Chains A and B, each alone.
Chain A
């Protein structure tokens, strides 16, 4: 698999002049000033920044959850937003993972994972088989029949990733997916995510406020600054794959982390 962003092919996501205003007419909040960004097919991009920098807003606009105030957003060559209207064809290429696993407590793990397939009308036996395959991929094989409450936080998040992968979207959008996990579980999940990404070849945009998570996972880090939210710096992470946990003590890792830390201190 080729993890170097392809230059000739069409980008997975293109934002042109995407802007977001919240609030009322008298007290408007500028959540994101006009932003341009292009994400290549198969690329792993991390959005990093202090709270209020608009990184979650940006991700939710790409995910089709909130409409941008202005600008053009293309997903796999298709226009995502036409005014306030979301175009379903473009959404089907997106899979979302949230900070909370957001599994439905009344569905078993396998039914949770297969929920998107059920909504698309796939027959039961077929979607069960797919759910089992995905459970193995994300490392929760054997837990298919459990209720979500019977799983630990990390395992629930694995199930949420499996659900997002179930209908085989080209793009995975992750909003602080491991933010609620303890540090050790988080490190393990970062390794797992890298493996899943390398196995499936998806394009991933991940939002985080952890510098080390950003450097460990990203091909490219987009640093955002607040008030109003805008892109401050874009940094490449030229560390070869697969990266192991030990890479965190390597000089190149430390250098990038330090540069990011200094920049973050300057903008927040």
Chain B
């Protein structure tokens, strides 16, 4: 684009946009095809290998069980509790992760004092702590919320710290030369500037939160999809166990996908939101 004649109509990038749209359509075509191929392979394998029903059930049977699960209020009740533990834990992880992240990125001595402890919480295999959480916080939903929060917290924190630290010095100079207050600098510069990083943290965090909730359910209590899965496994109800597995995966997809929506809504200006 020439700078010498900047008047008139803005340039058209419709061509590039059309190409982007065509590329955006590709996964909508390939994903169903690949999925169908995979299920077909599964079906053929079960049919021709004579594998035991207790090791690998046929896809059609799993499908029937999944439909039953979807129409069964008990199934929805378990789904609700898993979703609740995931989102509540995720919510706490956001509040603590972003809050602490902003503080750490701004205050040097806070970073120096807290860093060893934060790293320590990460190197301890947290899943191994789940039984301890059950002892401390009981078999109810609280212990699951805490496991989800502990798992999701770290990526959110580290990304927030990175985001606030990555703020362009030139942008800071602009705010300083405009006499901006501390709050204005936070609201108009630091927060929007760090947002792409924070959202990347949320993307990792939400997946870890649902893992946390399900692992928490494996080890105690009588609610949630994790609990349901263990029960089905103990009863050798493999069709149902597979159906729950698929149900969990779809829940995970849905949550991950909502963060993608959030990305497009909150940071449409950022390269990562254009796809």
Chain B contacts for A149, CB-based, 8 A: 269
Asked if B173 and A102 make an inter-chain contact with CB atoms under 8 angstroms apart, the answer reads yes
Interface of B is mostly: loop
Interface membership of B116, Cβ < 8 A: no
Residues of A139-176 contacting chain B, CB below 8 A? 139-143, 146-147, 149-155, 158, 163
Which of B3, B174, B270 has most chain A Cβ within 10 Å?
B3
**CB contact under 8 A between A105 and B270, given known A142-B9, A143-B10, A158-B6:** yes
Chain A contacts for B237, CB-based, 8 A: none
**CB contact under 8 A between A104 and B171, given known A115-B188, A119-B178, A119-B184:** yes
**CB contact under 8 A between A188 and B170, given known A64-B177, A88-B179:** no
- List the B residue with the shortest CB-CB distance to A63: B177
Interface membership of A116, Cβ < 8 A: yes
Interface membership of A10, Cβ < 8 A: no
In the complex, identify which listed stretch (A41-49, A90-98, A250-258) lies at the interface while the others stay far away.
A90-98
- List the A residue with the shortest CB-CB distance to B189: A104
Chain B contacts for A147, CB-based, 8 A: 269
Asked if B176 and A65 make an inter-chain contact with CB atoms under 8 angstroms apart, the answer reads yes
Interface membership of A185, Cβ < 8 A: yes
Interface membership of A100, Cβ < 8 A: yes
Chain A contacts for B176, CB-based, 8 A: 64-65
Interface membership of B131, Cβ < 8 A: no
Chain A contacts for B221, CB-based, 8 A: none
- List the A residue with the shortest CB-CB distance to B180: A119
Question: Which residue of the partner chain, among B173, B180, B184, contacts A98 with CB atoms under 8 Å?
Answer: B173
- List the B residue with the shortest CB-CB distance to A182: B3
Question: Which residue of the partner chain, among B10, B177, B178, contacts A146 with CB atoms under 8 Å?
Answer: B10
Asked if B184 and A96 make an inter-chain contact with CB atoms under 8 angstroms apart, the answer reads no
Contact count A vs B, C-beta below 8 Å: 84
**CB contact under 8 A between A152 and B3, given known A63-B177, A115-B178, A142-B9:** yes
**CB contact under 8 A between A104 and B192, given known A65-B177, A91-B179, A143-B10:** yes
Minimal beta-carbon separation of B1 from chain A (angstroms)? 5
Interface membership of B127, Cβ < 8 A: no
Residues of B88-135 contacting chain A, CB below 8 A? none
Interface membership of B168, Cβ < 8 A: yes
Which of B1, B179, B189 has most chain A Cβ within 10 Å?
B179
Residues of B254-269 contacting chain A, CB below 8 A? 267, 269
Alpha-carbon gap, A21 to B184, bound state (A): 31
Chain B contacts for A155, CB-based, 8 A: 1, 3, 6
Minimal beta-carbon separation of A126 from chain B (angstroms)? 17
Contact with A along B237-275 (1 / 0, CB 8 A): 000000000000000000000000000000101100000
Minimal beta-carbon separation of A4 from chain B (angstroms)? 29
**CB contact under 8 A between A102 and B6, given known A64-B176, A91-B177, A152-B1:** no
Residues of B152-204 contacting chain A, CB below 8 A? 168, 170-171, 173-174, 176-180, 184, 188-189, 192-193, 195
- Residues of A whose CB lies within 8 Å of any CB of B are 63-65, 88, 91-92, 94-96, 98, 100, 102, 104-107, 115-116, 118-119, 139-143, 146-147, 149-155, 158, 163, 181, 184-185, 188-189
- Residues of B whose CB lies within 8 Å of any CB of A are 1-4, 6-10, 13, 168, 170-171, 173-174, 176-180, 184, 188-189, 192-193, 195, 267, 269-270
17 A-B Cβ contacts within 8 A? A64-B176, A65-B173, A65-B177, A94-B177, A100-B170, A102-B168, A102-B173, A106-B192, A106-B195, A107-B269, A115-B174, A115-B178, A115-B188, A119-B184, A154-B6, A184-B3, A188-B3
